[in-house]
Structure 1
Amino acid sequence: MSESRLPLLTVTELRVVLPTARGPAAALRGVSFALGAGEKLGLIGESGCGKSLTALALMGLLPEGALVEGSIRLAGQELVGLPEDAMARLRGDRLAMIFQEPMTALNPLHTIGAQVAEPLRLHRGLDRAAARAEALRLLDRVKLPEAAKRLDAHPHQLSGGQRQRVMIAMALACGPELLIADEPTTALDVTLQHEVLMLIDELVQGSGMALLLISHDLGVMARHVQRVAVMYGGTVVESGPTTAVFEHLAHPYTQGLYAARPRLGATRGTRLATIPGRVPELADLPAGCPFADRCGRVVDDCRRAMPPEVAVGIGHMARCLRVAVAVP
């Protein structure tokens, strides 16, 4: 395969160990996926499954003391072990991220115009006036109401939806190759959630930018990404084209997530299905399948070692001993 046909992003056997009060804990355990230019990939799973930690690893923003093994390659460049000054040159330029809660991600002491302009001055060398003019264009592009009047506003003077649009403008300022959106609609109402997700789709489409969308909402994934990777216990337990994954639901954890989704038209008083148990603490992850203690199909072999990935369809993989292997 020629260099031009290689994926934009390739993550291979990514492992992250975090220091905890109970000793080192394996937070990511062999995460692997690839993402091409212009593609949209979704990471899905409950809180504590490793989705946001994967994003922070890609951005080089892991907690102090984290140990990282494996490979993260962006357009062929290895990011694991890259010095912080080199990583800082990538963040906000070739790599950008929309964080979950803009009120904590934005600096309360600086105006939104200054914050959107900052990556332009840092990475593009624009002077103050040129950066301010480009910041206004970006805020108009993300459809911030009365953008010119809000350039000198502070984050607390904006609504949650408006702050999220500012975060998107900041992320897009330098035209990144990879955009990571980590639960970008968590704090918004349903109408604003739809508007923000459609805005991200519109901005990504046709730009050649790759999108890594993190969410716990299967409906969001079904509508907004081409491929999905289901995470549990710090690893990818199922992955493939979104349609194939949702039609087959090969892994018991994916089946549980799908069964637990709210349904329109359900009779009043109908109880939602739930997955028994809870996501284990990092220090309590078992040696075998991380879902073993919550799975109704578990056998002894599930607890002995991490199950290997098996093909259950074209490009559709599941990490489970109890799924049918695809016929060649």
Structure 2
Amino acid sequence: MPLIEVSGLHVALRTFRGTAAAVRGMSFSLERGDTLGLVGESGCGKSMTALALMGLAPENAEVSGSIRLDGEELIGLRDRAWRGIRGRRMAMIFQEPMTALNPVHRVGAQIMEPMRLHLGLSARAARQKAIELMERVGIPEPERRIDSFPHQFSGGQRQRIMIAMALSAEPDVLIADEPTTALDVTVQKQVLRLIADLVAERGMALILISHDLGVVAQNAKRMMVMYGGSVVEQGKTNQVFARPAHPYTRGLLAARPSLAHRLAAHRGDRLETIAGSVPDLFDLPAGCPFAGRCTFTLPSCDSIVPPEISLSAYHCVRCGVPEAILGTFSTHDGSRENTLPA
């Protein structure tokens, strides 16, 4: 039995303009030690997926489908039951530590709270463990700084404190939502290495959300590419990067600045871009969410949900235009390799 299994997850947001589909039919499963990366543009549904998994979707959200943790269905649980799961079984590193941390409480008290609530530790034992966690995540002089307030730490240190909070009750599933936002490259590398070490050490399942394809490539064994609330491509990370099949995935990879682009930037070289803009959630087509921006768009793409096509045992794509997928695998001599199933 998988540690966490998500099947047909939908999140619909009810607003004064009507209902918007923020997440449309997401499915995946994770075992202990698995790492899954979610990538895509802002507004594609990554963070909303994470909030739904934690039972923290906004009040105007209607969550349907299935989320099972060790076989227990989570959708439909009462708040009291969710409070026993959040922090203890599932924990989340939020995107902005300065807004996630309470500015009027000392960081030590915030790290200790999950341990007091979920593990039943005494104040003294929780404080000692909080100091050990702060030291483990690289906070200098933790015995003294445990009584400091969030504003007395740098951005990178606040992110490390968020990691310590998320790990304080030793959860089974860790969700990291843009854990390296606004951090410099050196601190980003340290934070990601720390998360990877702790996941491997404790046998947790990790869901890593990021705009940075390089971060996902280096830190997730599997990845899902999201657009318009839907998963358009998924598979083992090395396979998706080696053979991106969906036109949107290819556009994302092409838009990455290479070393050659950086060296030539002063000469006015432009990066590749994806034509058009991300559609409003209320204007998404009923069929493929990428219809209209995709150069392979057919009239049927707007109305027919694209089928899932398996390219290998661990790599699949949702696209209704075979030519779009075949175009991915052009060989160096100009011929095309047909990798679609017979």
Amino acid of the residue matched to residue 9 of structure 1? I
Aligned to 2:307: 308
Alignment-derived partner of residue 47 in structure 2? 52
User: Is residue 313–residue 326 contact of structure 1 (8 Å, CA) maintained in 2?
Assistant: no
1:185-196 equivalence runs, <5 A: 185-196=180-191
1-structure distance, mates of 2:276, 2:185: 28
Rounded to whole Å, the distance in 2 between the matches of 1:191 and 1:121 is 34
Which one of 81, 84, 87 corresponds to residue 89 of structure 1?
84
**1:277 Cα deviation after fit:** 1.4
Query: What's the counterpart of residue 294 of structure 1?
Result: 293
Give distance in 2, aligned partners of 1:231 and 1:295: 15
Q: CA RMSD in A?
A: 1.1
Deviation at 1:193, TM superposition (A): 1.1
Greater alpha carbon shift after TM alignment, 263-272 vs 153-162: 263-272
What corresponds to 1:167 in structure 2?
Answer: 162
Contact conserved, 2:34 with 2:205, CA < 8 A, in 1?
yes
Cα distance, 1:264 vs. partner?
1.2
- Which letter maps to 1:66? A
1:132 aligned residue:
127
Q: Which structure ranks higher in relative contact order (CA pairs < 8 Å, sequence separation ≥ 6)?
A: 1
| Match in the other structure for 2:246 | 251
Q: Which whole-Å CA distance do the structure 1 matches of 2:16 and 2:144 have between them?
A: 48
> Match of 2:60?
65
C-alpha contact 1:38 1:206 (8 A) present in aligned 2: no
Matching of residue 206 in structure 1 with residue 206 in structure 2: no
Give the counterpart letter for 2:315 in structure 1: H
Give the SS at the match of 2:259.
coil
Which residue does the alignment assign to 1:3?
none
Q: AA paired with 1:162?
A: Q
Mapped partners of 2:232, 2:279: distance in 1: 15
Q: How does 1:237-276 map to 2 (within 5 A)?
A: 237-266=232-261, 267-268=264-265, 269-276=268-275
Residues 153-180 of structure 1: per-residue CA shift (max 9 Å, x gap): 0000000000000000000011110000
SS of 1:47's equivalent in the other structure is coil
- Corresponding residue for residue 176 of structure 1: 171
The percent identity for this pair of structures is: 59
Letter in 1 for 2:271: L
The DSSP-based 3-state class of the residue aligned with 1:121 is helix
Structure 1: unaligned runs, 5 residues or longer: 1-5
Counterpart contact for 2:15–2:60, Cα < 8 Å: no
Whichever residue aligns with residue 269 of structure 2, its letter is T
Find the aligned partners of 2:201 and 2:146 in 1 and give their Cα distance: 28
User: Aligned letter for 2:299?
Assistant: D
Q: Distance in 1 between matches of 2:16 and 2:156?
A: 37
Among 106, 114, 118, the alignment partner of 1:111 is: 106
Unaligned residue ranges in structure 2 (runs of 5+): 327-338
State the TM-score, normalizing by the size of structure 2: 0.92
Indicate the residue corresponding to 1:282 in structure 2: 281
Q: Number of paired residues?
A: 323
Indicate conservation of the 8 Å contact 2:107/2:150, yes or no.
yes
Secondary structure class of the residue paired with 2:114: helix
Return the offset for 1:221: 1.0
Q: CA deviation at 1:190?
A: 1.5
CA contact under 8 A between 1:289 and 1:307: conserved in structure 2?
A: yes
* 1:157 partnered with 2:152: yes
Mapped to 1, the partners of 2:191 and 2:250 lie a distance apart of 28
**Given that residues 18 and 66 in structure 1 are in contact (C-alpha distance below 8 angstroms), is that contact kept between their aligned partners in structure 2?**
yes
Partner of 1:31: 26
